[in-house]
Amino acid sequence: MAVVPGMTELTAPYWEAAQEKRLVVQECQSCGQVWHPPLPRCPHCHAADLGWRQVRGDGTVYTYTIVRHPTHYAFADAIPYILAVVELAEGPRLVTAITGVPPEAVRAGQPVHVAFREVADGVTLPYFEPATRRDTEDVG
Protein backbone atom coordinates (compact mmCIF):
# COMPACT_ATOMS: atom_id res chain seq x y z
CA MET A 1 0.00 0.00 0.00
CA ALA A 2 1.32 3.44 -0.87
CA VAL A 3 0.22 7.05 -0.88
CA VAL A 4 0.25 8.06 -4.53
CA PRO A 5 0.08 11.51 -6.12
CA GLY A 6 -3.08 12.60 -7.86
CA MET A 7 -2.22 14.25 -11.16
CA THR A 8 -3.56 17.18 -13.08
CA GLU A 9 -2.77 18.28 -16.61
CA LEU A 10 -0.22 20.63 -15.05
CA THR A 11 1.53 18.09 -12.82
CA ALA A 12 1.31 14.87 -14.85
CA PRO A 13 4.53 15.49 -16.89
CA TYR A 14 6.55 15.63 -13.65
CA TRP A 15 5.30 12.20 -12.57
CA GLU A 16 5.53 10.70 -16.06
CA ALA A 17 9.19 11.74 -16.17
CA ALA A 18 9.75 10.23 -12.71
CA GLN A 19 8.30 6.96 -14.00
CA GLU A 20 11.09 7.07 -16.63
CA LYS A 21 13.62 7.81 -13.86
CA ARG A 22 14.10 11.38 -14.98
CA LEU A 23 13.83 14.32 -12.57
CA VAL A 24 12.38 17.41 -14.25
CA VAL A 25 11.39 20.91 -13.21
CA GLN A 26 9.27 23.36 -15.09
CA GLU A 27 11.13 25.76 -17.37
CA CYS A 28 10.03 28.93 -19.12
CA GLN A 29 10.68 28.64 -22.86
CA SER A 30 10.80 32.41 -23.09
CA CYS A 31 13.14 33.52 -20.26
CA GLY A 32 14.70 30.21 -19.23
CA GLN A 33 13.84 30.39 -15.53
CA VAL A 34 13.10 27.14 -13.69
CA TRP A 35 10.90 26.50 -10.66
CA HIS A 36 9.01 23.88 -8.71
CA PRO A 37 6.15 23.04 -8.11
CA PRO A 38 4.58 23.67 -11.52
CA LEU A 39 2.63 26.83 -12.39
CA PRO A 40 0.34 27.70 -15.31
CA ARG A 41 2.48 30.73 -16.26
CA CYS A 42 6.08 31.81 -15.85
CA PRO A 43 6.06 33.88 -12.63
CA HIS A 44 8.97 35.95 -13.97
CA CYS A 45 7.88 36.97 -17.50
CA HIS A 46 4.29 35.62 -17.55
CA ALA A 47 4.89 33.56 -20.69
CA ALA A 48 2.54 30.61 -21.15
CA ASP A 49 5.05 28.68 -23.26
CA LEU A 50 6.46 26.35 -20.63
CA GLY A 51 8.46 23.18 -20.86
CA TRP A 52 10.35 20.76 -18.61
CA ARG A 53 14.06 20.70 -17.99
CA GLN A 54 15.72 17.51 -16.88
CA VAL A 55 17.97 18.22 -13.91
CA ARG A 56 21.03 16.28 -12.76
CA GLY A 57 19.42 15.08 -9.56
CA ASP A 58 22.13 16.56 -7.36
CA GLY A 59 21.24 18.66 -4.37
CA THR A 60 21.82 19.34 -0.72
CA VAL A 61 19.65 18.85 2.36
CA TYR A 62 18.09 22.25 3.11
CA THR A 63 16.14 21.12 6.16
CA TYR A 64 14.82 17.80 7.47
CA THR A 65 12.80 16.12 10.18
CA ILE A 66 12.81 12.58 11.46
CA VAL A 67 9.20 11.50 11.73
CA ARG A 68 8.70 9.17 14.69
CA HIS A 69 4.92 9.31 14.98
CA PRO A 70 2.70 8.50 11.99
CA THR A 71 -0.19 10.78 11.10
CA HIS A 72 -1.52 8.42 8.44
CA TYR A 73 -2.04 4.68 8.67
CA ALA A 74 -0.16 4.23 5.39
CA PHE A 75 3.06 5.31 7.13
CA ALA A 76 2.62 3.35 10.36
CA ASP A 77 5.21 0.77 9.29
CA ALA A 78 7.60 3.34 7.78
CA ILE A 79 8.44 4.99 11.13
CA PRO A 80 11.01 6.41 11.56
CA TYR A 81 11.49 8.12 8.21
CA ILE A 82 13.39 11.21 7.13
CA LEU A 83 11.41 13.99 5.47
CA ALA A 84 13.50 16.66 3.83
CA VAL A 85 13.54 19.70 1.66
CA VAL A 86 16.30 19.25 -0.89
CA GLU A 87 17.76 22.18 -2.79
CA LEU A 88 18.67 21.12 -6.31
CA ALA A 89 21.92 22.27 -7.89
CA GLU A 90 19.72 24.11 -10.42
CA GLY A 91 17.99 26.08 -7.65
CA PRO A 92 14.46 24.81 -7.04
CA ARG A 93 13.64 22.97 -3.80
CA LEU A 94 11.67 19.75 -3.53
CA VAL A 95 9.90 18.05 -0.68
CA THR A 96 11.19 14.51 -0.53
CA ALA A 97 12.39 11.78 1.78
CA ILE A 98 15.99 10.71 2.36
CA THR A 99 16.71 7.02 2.04
CA GLY A 100 19.80 4.89 2.35
CA VAL A 101 20.99 6.50 5.57
CA PRO A 102 20.13 5.89 9.25
CA PRO A 103 17.92 8.75 10.57
CA GLU A 104 20.61 9.85 13.02
CA ALA A 105 23.11 10.32 10.20
CA VAL A 106 21.24 12.86 8.09
CA ARG A 107 22.84 16.31 8.16
CA ALA A 108 21.98 19.79 6.94
CA GLY A 109 23.89 20.66 3.81
CA GLN A 110 24.60 17.01 3.08
CA PRO A 111 25.08 16.34 -0.68
CA VAL A 112 22.37 14.01 -1.94
CA HIS A 113 21.46 12.43 -5.26
CA VAL A 114 18.08 11.40 -6.61
CA ALA A 115 17.08 7.75 -6.23
CA PHE A 116 13.88 6.64 -7.94
CA ARG A 117 11.63 4.09 -6.32
CA GLU A 118 8.45 2.60 -7.75
CA VAL A 119 5.97 2.74 -4.87
CA ALA A 120 2.98 1.35 -6.78
CA ASP A 121 2.36 -0.02 -10.25
CA GLY A 122 3.21 2.81 -12.63
CA VAL A 123 3.99 5.30 -9.85
CA THR A 124 7.62 6.22 -9.20
CA LEU A 125 8.70 8.85 -6.68
CA PRO A 126 12.01 10.70 -6.65
CA TYR A 127 13.71 10.08 -3.28
CA PHE A 128 17.20 11.22 -2.38
CA GLU A 129 20.11 9.39 -0.84
CA PRO A 130 23.60 10.47 0.19
CA ALA A 131 25.64 11.31 -2.90
CA THR A 132 28.45 8.96 -3.79
CA ARG A 133 31.56 9.52 -5.87
CA ARG A 134 29.89 7.72 -8.76
CA ASP A 135 27.03 10.28 -8.86
CA THR A 136 29.55 13.03 -9.40
CA GLU A 137 31.37 11.06 -12.10
CA ASP A 138 28.08 10.30 -13.86
CA VAL A 139 27.44 14.00 -14.10
CA GLY A 140 30.96 14.79 -15.26
Partner 1 sequence: MIRRDVAIVGIGQTAYGKALPGTAWDLAIEAILAALADAGLEPRDVDGMCRFAPPFEPVSEPQLVRALGIPELRFFAESPLGGEALGAVLAHAAAAVKAGLARTVVVYRALSQSKGGRFGRADTRGPGGAGAADPGAHVLVPEEDNRSFAWPYGLMSPGQLFALWARRYAIVHGLTDEDLTKALGSIAITQRRYANNNPNAMMRDRKMDWDDYRGARMISEPLRLFDLCLENDGACAYVVTSAELARALRDDPVYVLSATQTLSPYREPMGIYVTGELLELFPPATAERLFAEAGVGRGDIDVAEFYDATSYMPLRSLESYGFVPDGLAWRYVTETGTGPGSPLPVNTHGGHLSEAYLHGMNAVLEAVRQLRGTAVNQVANAEIALVGAPAGSATILAR
The 3-state DSSP class for residue 51 equals: strand
Site membership for partner 1, residue 96 (CB under 8 A): yes
| Dihedral sign from CA coordinates of 137, 27, 39, 18 | negative
3-state SS, residue 66: strand
Query: Quick one: which of 42, 50, 64, 131 contacts partner 1 (CB under 8 A)?
Result: 64
CA–CA distance, 50 with 28 (Å, rounded to integer) = 5
* Region binding partner 1 by CB under 8 A among candidate stretches 23-31, 50-58, 123-131, 132-140: 123-131
Give the residue, chosen from 69, 102, 133, 137, that forms a contact with partner 1 under the rule CB under 8 A.
69
Nearer to partner 1, 9 or 137 (CB): 9
Q: Is 93 in the site for partner 1 (CB under 8 A)?
A: yes
Note whether 84 and 101 are within 8 A (CB).
no
3-state class of 122 per DSSP? Answer: coil
Using CB under 8 A as the binding rule, whether residue 52 contacts partner 1 is answered as no
The DSSP symbol for 87 reads E
Per CB under 8 A, residues contacting partner 1 are: 1-8, 11, 35-37, 43, 62-75, 78, 81, 83-85, 93-97, 108-109, 119-120, 123, 125, 127
